[in-house]
């Protein structure tokens, strides 16, 4: 019988503690792969907690892939791959020093506790980054990265990043490679634009339109007024440097630590005017001679942007757990852009075993990277947010990317990426001539918006509102005459789910889209997001249901249209 000491005060919720204990035991092999766990009632009785507490912990562990639920048999430990030891390297350098993957139990704190040790951990990490600093050269030859050694998730022996400036007239090999490669593709990209109907839409489930009344105008206007009153003209007119203002990067680092369990130094963060600006910088940093793998089906604008930057793009098929490892290896790519916490458009959540396999792929060859796109992580509707790939990466192979577009609206073009320390040093040295693409006033306002708690309150309100819309939509669809043909997939991971209309062929799919649009409801088939030469037949009859922009008062009418046209 599993025995854990659960504290009722000062250590987070009982469910969070139990979840963390079991997860750590599965990761370490204390609970062997395939081992059956106690029943919910038996474990609850043994630990002196409620059955609901055990159910919640087991449910989250199943969602993350640590446990498997087998009907009428119970819960069993999943087989978590043991990642090989590997080193921390510069761009294209050879691995040498052995460092294990950081376990997820180190990445995310128990519910209710401060992630990463709170302010003390952040201060310790900042001190470590600065204490091992130098002039920026670090004794390395110009154009190459010094070998970096990762000792744990909170302290790394790296050179000071903040003080590195662009001073070398000779760019590094990786940077120079950024100006060579194939010409950009100008081929058409389906799925990221749709013709506007002649009348106003009742509902747009494609995610192509922004919802009205969602931006926190009053709070944002108040923040702008305070910034203008408090900050000097010199501060607001001064250039913020290539990575963005330190105040905003500190605010983002604190947000990531509290919400995602990520312990990062502000010097690792680069701010840009939306995701596309960051993709451009990534290509310059890593080089155009590389091949970038993207998920298929996926976001067509992403593939188009990379092609426009002049890099070779390889669509990689998805299986039931995320990017297919066999397809990834066959692609010849050295960079994988993936969305492990909520894939667009399928809604897939990559479980823990596959996450470790992706990290293992990244260290099989020198110079491989994972670009983790965490675009709507704030809007998980049930359970804890799954730990990010970045938080379990012990070899500096994950580049974390996110934007404020989903939370603050499509017109709010501010995003950021978290670079591994060795890439942050390369960015400061080789791309330091770039100006930050976000204005100083916007950066100061967003920093204040996050620090004041207004951003968190806005996200919480938006999540609650979105949950109401989702629940009302699911209930309304289940009440239609076509309910027996409808199935709903991945409903909890973010601001969209997948509607599966059973028995629908390609012709029926096209007809449904046309008929629904004629009644002012825009539908988006998953097949339209296929990036390969042909869509996977399993996508037929499946539709993206991005409900974030749908008004609550229009839910019933939209569901009625879908039910009528599917019947």
What is the rounded CA–CA span in Å between residue 245 and residue 70?
51
Query: Would 93 be classed as within a structural domain?
Result: no
430, 462: one domain: no
**Which one, of 259, 208, 193, lies nearest residue 496 by Cα?**
208
* Residue 197 in domain: no
Average pLDDT over residues 289-312: 95
Q: Do 264 and 380 reside in the same domain of the chain?
A: yes
Do 253 and 296 lie in a common domain? yes
Residue 386 lies in a domain: yes
Residues 257 and 312 in one domain: yes
**Is 60 exceeded by the pLDDT of residue 116?**
no
Strand partners, 323: 318
56 and 138 together in one domain: no
- Residue in 236, 313, 210, 251 with CA at minimum distance from that of residue 450: 251
Domain boundary among 453, 475, 502: 453
Q: What is the pLDDT of residue 98?
A: 39
- 96 occurs within a structural domain: no
Long-range CB contacts for residues 35-41, cutoff 8 Å, separation at least 24? 35/76, 35/77, 36/73, 36/74, 36/75, 36/76, 37/2, 37/67, 37/74, 37/75, 37/76, 37/77, 38/1, 38/2, 39/74
User: How confident is the model over 173-184, as pLDDT tens digits?
Assistant: 333 333 333 333
**pLDDT tens-digit series, residues 10-66:** 768 899 899 999 998 998 888 989 999 999 999 998 898 999 999 999 998 998 889
Specify if 435 maps to a domain. yes
Same domain, 118 and 50: no
485 and 438 in one domain?
no
**Would you say residue 5 lies in a domain?**
no
Q: What are phi and psi of 420, to 5 degrees?
A: -55, 150
The answer as to whether 194 is a domain residue is no
pLDDT above 50: residue 226: yes
pLDDT digits (tens, 9 = 90+) for 504-532: 999 999 999 999 999 999 999 999 999 98
Kindly state whether residues 400 and 516 are assigned to the same domain: no
**Domain termination residue (choose one: 453, 478, 497):** 453
Residue-level pLDDT at 228? 94
pTM: 0.75
Q: Is residue 291 part of a domain?
A: yes
In this structure, of 313-327, 376-390, 542-556, the range with the lowest mean pLDDT score is 376-390
Mean pLDDT of 286-315: 95
Rg of the chain (C-alpha set): 24
User: Are 280 and 409 within one domain?
Assistant: yes
The residues, ordered by sequence, that sit 6+ positions from 267 with a Cβ below 8 Å of its Cβ are 129, 160, 161, 162, 243, 249, 424, 428
pLDDT bracket for residue 412 (50, 70, 90):
confident
- 420 and 472 in a single domain? The answer is no
The reply to whether 398 and 461 lie within a common domain is no
Distances in Å between the Cα of 294 and the Cα atoms of 85, 320, 346 are 26, 16, 14
Same domain, residue pair 309 and 406: yes
Give the chain's domain count: 3
- The DSSP output letter for 69 is E
Q: Is the pLDDT of residue 399 over 80?
A: yes
Boundary residue ending a domain (424, 453, 482): 453
Q: Which residue has the higher pLDDT, 374 or 137?
A: 374
Q: Dihedral through CA 116, CA 119, CA 120, CA 125, nearest 10?
A: 70
Domain CATH number, residue 73: 1.10.10.10
Which two tokens mark 308?
């426009």
**Residue-range definition of the domain harbouring residue 361:** 104-186+219-453
pLDDT of residue 289: 94
Residue 236: predicted pLDDT? 86
Q: Which two tokens stand for residue 362?
A: 């990244």
**Both structure tokens of 557:** 């009418």
């Amino acid at each position: 019988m599993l025995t854990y000491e659960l504290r009722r005060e000062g250590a987070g919720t009982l469910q969070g503690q139990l979840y963390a204990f079991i997860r750590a035991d599965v990761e370490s092999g204390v609970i062997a792969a395939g081992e059956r766990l106690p029943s919910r009632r038996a474990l609850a009785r043994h630990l002196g907690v409620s059955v609901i507490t055990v159910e919640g912990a087991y449910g989250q562990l199943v969602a993350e892939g640590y446990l498997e639920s087998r009907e009428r048999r119970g819960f069993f430990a999943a087989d978590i791959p043991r990642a090989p030891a590997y080193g921390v390297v510069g761009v294209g350098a050879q691995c040498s020093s052995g460092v294990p993957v950081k376990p997820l139990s180190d990445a995310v704190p128990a519910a209710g506790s401060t992630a990463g040790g709170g302010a003390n951990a952040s201060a310790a990490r900042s001190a470590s980054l600065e204490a091992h600093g130098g002039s920026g050269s670090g004794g390395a030859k110009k154009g190459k990265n010094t070998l970096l050694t990762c000792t744990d998730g909170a302290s790394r022996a790296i050179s000071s990043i903040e003080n590195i400036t662009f001073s070398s007239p000779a760019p590094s090999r990786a940077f120079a490679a950024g100006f060579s490669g194939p010409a950009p593709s100008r081929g058409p990209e389906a799925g990221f634009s749709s013709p506007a109907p002649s009348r106003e839409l009742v509902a747009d489930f494609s995610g192509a339109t922004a919802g009205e009344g969602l931006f926190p105008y009053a709070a944002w206007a108040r923040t702008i007024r305070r910034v203008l009153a408090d900050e000097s003209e010199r501060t607001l007119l001064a250039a913020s440097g290539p990575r963005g203002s330190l105040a905003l990067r500190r605010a983002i680092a604190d947000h990531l630590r509290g919400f995602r369990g990520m312990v990062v130094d502000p010097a690792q963060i680069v701010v840009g005017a939306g995701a596309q600006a960051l993709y451009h910088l990534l290509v310059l940093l890593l080089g155009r001679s590389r091949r970038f793998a993207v998920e298929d089906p996926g976001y067509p604008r992403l593939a188009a942007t990379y092609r426009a930057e002049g890099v070779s793009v390889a669509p990689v098929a998805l299986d039931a757990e995320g990017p297919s490892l066999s397809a990834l290896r066959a692609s010849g790519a050295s960079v994988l852009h993936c969305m492990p916490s909520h894939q667009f458009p399928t809604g897939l959540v990559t479980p823990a075993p596959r996450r470790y396999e992706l990290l293992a792929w990244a260290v099989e060859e020198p110079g491989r990277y994972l670009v983790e796109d965490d675009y709507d992580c704030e809007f998980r509707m049930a359970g804890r947010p799954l730990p990010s790939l970045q938080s379990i990466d012990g070899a500096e192979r994950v580049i974390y990317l996110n934007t404020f577009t989903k939370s603050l609206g499509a017109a709010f073009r501010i995003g950021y990426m978290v670079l591994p320390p060795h890439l942050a040093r390369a960015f400061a040295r080789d791309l330091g001539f770039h100006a930050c693409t976000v204005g100083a006033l916007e950066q100061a306002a967003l920093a204040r918006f996050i620090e004041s708690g207004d951003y968190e309150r806005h996200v919480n309100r938006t999540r609650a509102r979105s949950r109401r819309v989702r629940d009302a939509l699911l209930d309304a669809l289940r009440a239609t005459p076509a309910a027996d043909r409808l199935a709903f997939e991945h409903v909890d991971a973010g601001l969209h789910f997948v509607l599966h209309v059973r028995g629908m062929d390609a012709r029926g799919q096209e007809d449904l889209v046309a008929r629904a649009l004629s009644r002012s409801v825009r539908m988006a088939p998953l097949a339209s997001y296929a990036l390969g030469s042909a869509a996977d037949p399993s996508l037929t009859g499946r539709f993206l249901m991005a409900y974030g922009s749908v008004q609550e008062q229009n839910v019933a009418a939209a569901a009625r249209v879908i039910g009528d046209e599917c019947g």
